[in-house]
Amino acid sequence: MHSTKSSLFSESEDGHFMPTNSEPTLNRSLGFWSALSLVVGTVIGSGIFFKQSSVLDSAGSTSNALLAWLLGGLITLTAGLTIAEVGAQMPHTGGLYVYMEEIYGKFWGFLSGWMQVAVYGPAIIASIAAYLGILLVGFFNLSNGWQAPLAIGVIILIGILNMFENRWGAAFQIVTTLGKLLPIAAIIIFGLFYGNQNAFGQTLHTVSQSTGSFGVAVLATLFAYDGWILVANLGGEIKNPQKLLPQAIILGISLVLVAYTLVTYGILHFIPADTIHKLGQQTTVYFANAAFGTIGGRLLNIGIIVSMVGCLNGKIMTFPRIVYAMAERHQLPFSKQLSYLNRKSHEPIVATSVIIVYASIMILFFNPDRLSDLCIFTVYCFYVATFIGVFLLRKRHAGDSRPFSTPGFPITPLIAILGALFVIISEIGSDLPGVLLSLVIVMIGIPVYYYKKRQLS
């Protein structure tokens, strides 16, 4: 095993790192349904409801738009199958941060964790909350000045909920995941049976001002599919994680892939492509009102709001675990405070508070589209490194048994690697300033790492 031991982990007889000195410790109390709801709930948020127009505009035809959603899901599934092998071998709190550290060493593990706590986590929470604020303002007919206060208020309330025992946050996740399936089912059923448009036959001529390319369309769907890996951040709180973590990731991504493809077909079958192009982010709201009338449309919008709240809950539940794991190893400023666990609930309440405050500041100073751009590039850089890590771990532990093996190896991880490289290259080509800003924030972590290392030496 690569030498990456720290104060948080000791090596067990089977070669895995296990927690050693946390007092109190996180509760290992989450079962399969909690884990599955976290995968589905953290993926299905705003993307499927707000990205239909942008995917169609970039794809140039309804057939290509459907193909983009399907291909994005298949790329995500190969990524999930690959990470499942890694996660089953390292079922500890921290997810991607732990994987990078054990595969590549402490420095790269730290940078992957820093990326998530300094850019990816707060930015994606702020982005979804800001979209939710826009939806709430429209739903309650309020002025635009209420968007930010409502967004911040929602994440504060969800943060408070997640300061109680993790079973409460997990129960809320299950409820909201079931709730978000209602608008998805309504869109699919109504679109399939009552639509009269040709979901496959509308071409570039219909979408008269189409921009971008098929690659950009796939990239937009990958943002909507992102978030599935966050359940791994709770690896130390899942019962029998070697078995349940791969099951939850694979089944969860598969369910989302089917749901996204059918939702897209339902919308394209019901609304003409040129109308979708003109509606932009209001496409799903238009669908709700046109299909179900004013009252039915408002009910469907409530379901979409529930979907986004559930997505926020999953992210606010998981990201503080990375802060906690890094602080436990004394890798962050104010590590003593950030690693504090409430003695009654065993929850990282200080880490949760910091993530909420950081995300709230982002809501005030960035628009949601910009925030989503910031988070995607950085996380995919570390995704591709972890996918490559599957090959390194197999070579390092040749002949050892594994709790889970990636089906279709080596083709499956190779597809995941190519998909991640596609995202990275596309982001560089389409948003170089955003890429550079993300890299600068990540590189700020380098002096922090060496400063904390010097303190511990």
Instruction: Give the pLDDT confidence score for residue 10 in this predicted structure.
Output: 41
Quick check: is 398 in a domain? yes
The one-letter amino acid at 117: V
How remote is the C-alpha of 97 from its chain's centroid?
Answer: 15
Quick check: is 62 in a domain? yes
441 close to 114: Cβ distance less than 8 angstroms: no
Q: How far apart are CA 52 and CA 285, in angstroms?
A: 12
Quick check: is 2 in a domain? no
Q: Which residues contact 53 (CB under 8 A, 6 or more apart)?
A: 276, 277, 279, 280, 281, 283
Per-residue pLDDT of the chain (457 residues; tens, 9 = 90+): 333 333 333 444 444 444 444 445 555 667 888 888 878 877 887 778 878 888 888 888 889 999 999 999 999 999 999 998 998 888 777 788 889 999 999 999 999 999 998 888 898 899 889 888 988 988 888 998 999 999 999 999 999 988 887 677 777 777 877 777 888 888 899 888 888 787 777 664 554 444 557 888 888 888 789 888 877 777 677 888 888 888 888 999 999 999 999 999 999 998 888 888 888 877 877 888 888 888 877 887 888 888 888 888 888 888 888 898 888 888 998 888 988 887 777 788 899 999 999 999 999 988 776 777 667 788 889 999 999 999 999 999 887 888 889 999 999 999 999 999 988 888 888 778 888 888 998 999 999 999 988 888 7
Which phi-psi region, left, alpha or beta, contains residue 293 (left: φ > 0; alpha: ψ -120 to 50)? left
CATH of the domain at 343: 1.20.1740.10
Instruction: Give the pLDDT confidence score for residue 26 in this predicted structure.
Output: 54
Q: How far apart are CA 273 and CA 369, in angstroms?
A: 23
Burial annotation 270-305 (CB, 10 A radius, 16+ → b, else e): bbbbeebbebebebbbbbbbebbeeeebeebbebbb
Quick check: is 188 in a domain? yes
Q: How many CA atoms lie within 13 A of 229 on its CB side?
A: 29
Q: How far apart are CA 310 and CA 301, in angstroms?
A: 14
Quick check: is 10 in a domain? no
Q: Which residues contact 259 (CB under 8 A, 6 or more apart)?
A: 44, 48, 181, 184, 188
The one-letter amino acid at 257: L
The one-letter amino acid at 166: N
17 close to 115: Cβ distance less than 8 angstroms: no
Q: How far apart are CA 197 and CA 205, in angstroms?
A: 15
Query: How distant, in Å, are the alpha carbons of 26, 154, 189, 310, 364 from that of 129?
Result: 27, 7, 28, 11, 11
Instruction: Give the pLDDT confidence score for residue 355 in this predicted structure.
Output: 94
Torsion, Cα of 376, 382, 383, 385 (10° steps): 150
Quick check: is 1 in a domain? no
322 close to 138: Cβ distance less than 8 angstroms: no
Best CA proximity match to 176, nearest among 273, 278, 307: 307
Alpha-carbon dihedral sign for residues 163, 166, 172, 178? positive
Angle between helices 241-270 and 52-59 (to 10 degrees): 70
Best CA proximity match to 110, nearest among 91, 88, 94, 87: 94
18 close to 235: Cβ distance less than 8 angstroms: no
Angle at 41 (CA atoms; ends 278, 179), nearest 5 degrees: 80
Alpha-carbon dihedral sign for residues 76, 79, 85, 89? negative
Quick check: is 8 in a domain? no
Q: 0.85 exceeded by the pTM? A: no
Angle between helices 106-115 and 283-328 (to 10 degrees): 140
Count how many domains the chain has.
Answer: 1
Q: How far apart are CA 398 and CA 403, in angstroms?
A: 14
Domain span holding position 264? 32-204+211-456
Q: How far apart are CA 169 and CA 178, in angstroms?
A: 14
Instruction: Give the pLDDT confidence score for residue 205 in this predicted structure.
Output: 53
Alpha-carbon dihedral sign for residues 31, 33, 39, 44? negative
Angle between helices 214-225 and 241-270 (to 10 degrees): 130
Quick check: is 22 in a domain? no
H or E element that contains 18: strand 17-19
Q: Residue 10, SS3?
A: strand
